[in-house]
Structure 1
Amino acid sequence: MSTGRGGIDGGNEALCPGTEGSAMASGGDSGSPGAARSGPLHDGLDGLRMAAGTLTAVPVAAPRVDRTVAGWAMVLAPLVGAVLGAAAAAVLVAAALLGLPGFLAAALAVGTLALLTRGLHLDGLADLADGLGSGKPAAQALEIMRRSDIGPFGVITLVLTLVIQTAALGAVADASLAAGAAALVTATASGRLAITWACTPRVPSARPEGLGAFVAGTVPHWGAAVATAAVLLFAAAAGLAHGGWFAPACAAAAAAGPAAAAPLLARAVHRTGGITGDTLGALSETAATTALVVAVAAV
């Protein structure tokens, strides 16, 4: 797999094997222990473990990893995002209760998300910005995305994204701490929903190896639709915790995230030929940032 800067496309070789002996390469031999565990329940549980191990800093490995499990992992990515958001929201609330200003409390919450994900999504955002910003052909753009350094496009994009996220979350939290917490869990779930949609059919992988190749096309459209419905319901429920009027605002924010990420996905596919792990990270950050900005407009 790509090593990159240790981002999504580089830190998950154990989770996304592409070598002989992996479940994907072996075709899921019916005599293997993994095949004995096959079935919707086991696939879903293995997928949840893969999603947690791939999208967070938690050292979790699925006992069986193949494209079926990968599809479940990408469908369940918003659930992992919601859990991450809840942890960051707890930090936001604790900081605010200690009397810290909203912007500083928001900065600590955003930093918590970066810590819990090892900065993988942010790294992917910077990588994709450098690749697309280079204006180079696909092969060269992908090579730029693999490099261990960060270029000017990556720096600018990363700084702007973090500032916007922190300012937006801080503004919502200043208006209402409960609304800030609801907006944060909505944004993190919405961000991972963008990953789910990027793994639907007809979205190719940019490389023959890596996380993008492993998960590309693994999510059926109906699976993405179910995940979307679940995220919208979850967002509305989170909004209800603040007040009935904030429920539709959270649902709108959740929907706006993947919608805003769609043009970036189209651009990445056009310029690089498909998705990579870095692309997925960039989509997640774009969607989450958009959701937070939409939430600001509602308070």
Structure 2
Amino acid sequence: MKEYLVFVPRGFMVMWNLLTRLPRLGDSYPTTDSPGVLALGPLVGLVMGLMVGTVGLVAFQGLPGLLTGALCGSAYSLLGWSLHLDGFADLWDGLGSGRRGDAMREVMKDSRSGAFGVMGMVLGLLAWCSACGDLRGVHLPLGLALAGALGRFSLLACAFLGRYPWVSGLGGVFVGRLKGPHLALGALWCAPFAIVLPWPLLLGLLGLSGLLGALMAIWMNQRMGGVNGDVLGACEVLGEIGVLAILAKFI
């Protein structure tokens, strides 16, 4: 129990420093000795989404829906979501190249975005902003908080089932090095939403988010030989888009 009480706040600080551009919480960052801290990613995502949604509720309500979504997306990106958006664009470039294995990974490692990456970024942001703009009132911070948590749960599931055969890269800290309890802890942060959402909807969203991460890992293990940081980021973005789209329809 004592180790758990130490692990959670330390893991939160590590993931906060990695995933946000807000003031640092100490000097802790992920290392090869602490892959399990990724289980705190959904909690960090929940906090980030709640912050953006609260700002949106106060400052952007009353504006046209798509504009509200665009402003929320801009604030979210400045907070740190751009880290995942970069991976999303890189995956589009890799898939658009038609290559496989290490050749595909080399395309994704290029810091420049090609036509497929730009197109993917535009379409992804449009989908996210449109779904976000359909959430009104208190549903906006609620929806963004849950999307932030479940998007990073998709990432966690992808890292759980993924392989990392390469020597270097941040993904090697997490991918293929997680255990079942880490998944359970990542899912636990969604439990408070059962107070305000029907539990079948919440469980369905959790299951779909985990399934997305699992399918992405299986696909990339076969196509590229493993899962890298860009794949994790892309999985997170897709997870958020799916959650927001479903919430916009059912709440």
Q: What is the TM-score with the length of structure 2 in the denominator?
A: 0.89
Residue 182 of structure 1 contacts residue 250 of structure 1 at CA under 8 Å; is this kept in 2? no
Partner in structure 2 of residue 154 of structure 1: 117
CA contact (8 A) 2:149 2:189 kept: no
Residue-by-residue CA offset, 1:49-98 (whole Å, 9 max, x unaligned): 21111111134454475434231x2111000000000111012101344x
Q: Rg larger in 1 or in 2?
A: 1
The residue number in structure 1 matching 2:91 is 128
Mean Cα deviation higher: 188-197 or 39-48: 39-48
Aligned partner of 1:69 in structure 2 is 34
CA RMSD of aligned residues (A): 2.3
1:255–1:169: structure 2 CA closer, same or farther, 3 Å change rule?
farther
Q: Contact between 2:88 and 2:230, CA under 8 Å: does it hold in 1?
A: yes
- C-alpha change, 1:260 and 1:136, in structure 2 (3 Å) is same
What stretches of structure 1 of length at least 5 have no aligned partner? 1-37
CA contact (8 A) 2:155 2:213 kept: no
Cα 1:178/1:251, change in 2 over 3 Å: farther
Q: By how many angstroms is 1:47 displaced?
A: 1.9
Change (3 A) 1:218 1:41: farther
1:78 has 2:42 as partner: yes
One-letter code aligned to 2:93: D
3-state SS of 2:113 partner: coil
The one of 111, 133, 139 aligned to 2:74: 111
Aligned pair partner of 1:283 in 212, 232, 235: 235
Q: Secondary structure at the match of 2:168?
A: coil
1:233-270: CA deviation from partner (whole Å, max 9, x where unpaired) = 23323xx1xxx65x643453343233234323322221
Matched-pair contact (CA < 8 Å) for 2:84–2:233: yes
- Conserved? CA contact 1:164–1:289, under 8 Å: yes
- Displacement of 1:134: 1.3
1:43 Cα shift? 3.6
Work out the CA distance in 2 between the residues paired with 1:40 and 1:254.
23
* Structure 2 unmatched runs, 5+: none
- Measure the CA separation in 2 of the matches of 1:96 and 1:63: 34
- Does 1:167 find its partner at 2:130? yes
Match of 2:63 in 1: 100
Corresponding position: 1:51 with 2:15? yes
Q: Is the 8 A contact 1:169 1:180 kept in 2?
A: yes
* Cα pair distance change 1:157/1:65, threshold 3 Å: closer
The superposition leaves residues 95-149 of structure 1 with CA deviations (integer Å, 9 ceiling, x where unpaired) of 344x322221221111111111161100000111111221213111111111121
Cα gap change, 1:95 to 1:248, in 2 (>3 Å): farther
Displaced runs of 4+ in structure 1, greater than 6 A?
A: none
* Residue pair 2:158, 2:232 contacting (<8 A) in 1 also: yes
Give the 3 Å change call, closer, same or farther, for CA 166–222 of structure 1 in structure 2. Answer: same
Equivalent residue in structure 1 for 2:217, among 252, 258, 265 = 265
Q: Answer whether contact 2:18 2:29 (CA < 8 A) is retained.
A: no
Measured in 1, the distance between the counterparts of 2:29 and 2:21 equals: 19
Task: Say whether the 8 Å CA contact 1:122–1:281 is kept in structure 2.
Answer: yes
CA contact (8 A) 1:75 1:224 kept: yes
Count of aligned positions: 249
In 1: Cα distance, 2:116 partner to 2:183 partner: 31
1:224 aligned onto 2:183? yes
1:190 aligned to 2:142? no
Counterpart Cα distance in 1 of 2:6 and 2:226:
30
Q: Deviations over 1:23-61 (max 9, x none)?
A: xxxxxxxxxxxxxxx944444333222111111113445
* CA contact 1:46–1:62 (8 Å) conserved in 2: no
Are 2:43 and 2:189, in contact at CA under 8 Å, matched by a contact in 1? no
Q: What is the aligned partner in structure 1 of residue 192 from structure 2?
A: 234
Deviation at 1:226, TM superposition (A): 3.4
CA distance in 2, matches of 1:64, 1:250: 31
Higher relative contact order (CA 8 A, sep 6+): 2
Kindly indicate which of the two structures has a greater share of residues assigned to helix.
2
